[in-house]
Amino acid sequence: MKISIQQIQKAECFASIFQHLKAFTENINIMFEKDRMYMQTMDSARVSIIEIALPNTWFDVYEHTSPTTITLGINSTILYKILNSREKTQSINLVYNEGEGDHLAIYFTSENKDEFDKRFEVPLMDIEMDLLGIPEIEHQAEFTVSSYHFSTIVNQLQMFGDTMDISCTEEKIILASHSQDHGKMFVEIKIDDLSSFIIDENGSIDLSFSLNYLHNICLYNKIAKEIELKIAANYPIQIIYDLGSVVNAEKAQIKFYLAPKISDNDD
């Protein structure tokens, strides 16, 4: 198997995707299928699920000759160290030979003579991890907002508490956090200020989520200009970064599913 990302912007995106995974989980299984690269993992506290799907056409080279899916188990901290050593002008190449199945080779190369080529051998692991079936649900509200601005809001809310309360109506969205020691912060988002907004007629929804997990999700804010949020009562919030490539209805995107916090007043 050989995979290559020559476009610098995509190489930066790919590196960012996997650099931040160590904030969620220690080990990951990356699945290389005929038509896509796919990864699903859950954080150690089983509060969030991460899905990454990149169609084969997202890559400059995607050579997959195996008759079955190639699953590679990798330590996320090792992957972080490797990707952190990549220079911004370097392309990324992944090579895996099934006959030498104990490692994945990663190459960083560049036409810039000031940058030296780098090669790494990543030890592989056998990780027992079942894929979770995530049911499709009807969301009560969906909206799209600048990923940078949402990240900034989350960071500011964290200064006032550990929970983000979100309230959606047909007129506006309110984000809030509070604590006894630090007071309260409220952010009002008018519907006209959103790129898109859908809510059930006469709908109203109130949920709460961990700001620590939202902060980690927002680490990805540089890979997409906008972030899409989908919410429904008593279900995890779905947060999507769209990476801008659609092939046979298969999008290049990262999805997060974050379980709501349970209020003491809830049954």
Which tens digit of pLDDT belongs to each residue from 183-217? 999 999 998 889 899 998 888 999 999 999 999 99
Instruction: Let me know whether 74 and 107 are in one domain.
Output: yes
CB 1 within 8 A of CB 70: yes
Residue 131 lies inside a defined structural domain of this protein:
no
The pTM of this model reads 0.91
Instruction: Let me know whether 183 and 251 are in one domain.
Output: yes
Residue 40 lies inside a defined structural domain of this protein:
yes
- Closest to 127 (Cα-Cα) out of 26, 10, 15: 26
Instruction: Let me know whether 68 and 169 are in one domain.
Output: no
Q: Quote the pLDDT of residue 246.
A: 47
Q: Which CATH number does the domain housing residue 228 bear?
A: 3.70.10.10
Instruction: Let me know whether 167 and 113 are in one domain.
Output: no
Q: How many domains does the chain divide into? A: 2
Q: Quote the pLDDT of residue 249.
A: 47
Q: Quote the pLDDT of residue 43.
A: 87
Instruction: Let me know whether 90 and 155 are in one domain.
Output: no
Q: Quote the pLDDT of residue 267.
A: 47
Residue 227 lies inside a defined structural domain of this protein:
yes
Instruction: Let me know whether 241 and 159 are in one domain.
Output: yes
Instruction: Let me know whether 153 and 252 are in one domain.
Output: yes
Instruction: Let me know whether 252 and 175 are in one domain.
Output: yes
**Rounded Cα–Cα distance for residues 72 and 185 (Å):** 44
| Segment 123-140 mean pLDDT | 88
Residue 264 lies inside a defined structural domain of this protein:
no
Judge whether residue 122 has pLDDT over 50. yes
Residue 135 lies inside a defined structural domain of this protein:
no
Q: Which of 90, 123, 156 is the last residue of a domain?
A: 123
Instruction: Let me know whether 17 and 68 are in one domain.
Output: yes
| Segment 67-71 mean pLDDT | 94
Instruction: Let me know whether 64 and 166 are in one domain.
Output: no
| Domain residue limits at 96 | 2-123
Residue 266 lies inside a defined structural domain of this protein:
no
Q: Quote the pLDDT of residue 248.
A: 47
Is residue 25 exposed (0-12), middle (13-18) or buried (19+ Cβ within 10 Å)?
middle
Instruction: Let me know whether 153 and 111 are in one domain.
Output: no
Judge whether residue 109 has pLDDT over 50. yes
Residue 263 lies inside a defined structural domain of this protein:
no
Per-residue pLDDT band at 19 (split at 50, 70, 90): very high
Per-residue pLDDT band at 265 (split at 50, 70, 90): low
Q: Which CATH number does the domain housing residue 39 bear?
A: 3.10.150.10
Instruction: Let me know whether 146 and 92 are in one domain.
Output: no
Residue range 140-197, pLDDT digits in tens? 999 999 999 999 999 999 999 999 999 999 999 999 999 999 999 999 999 888 989 9
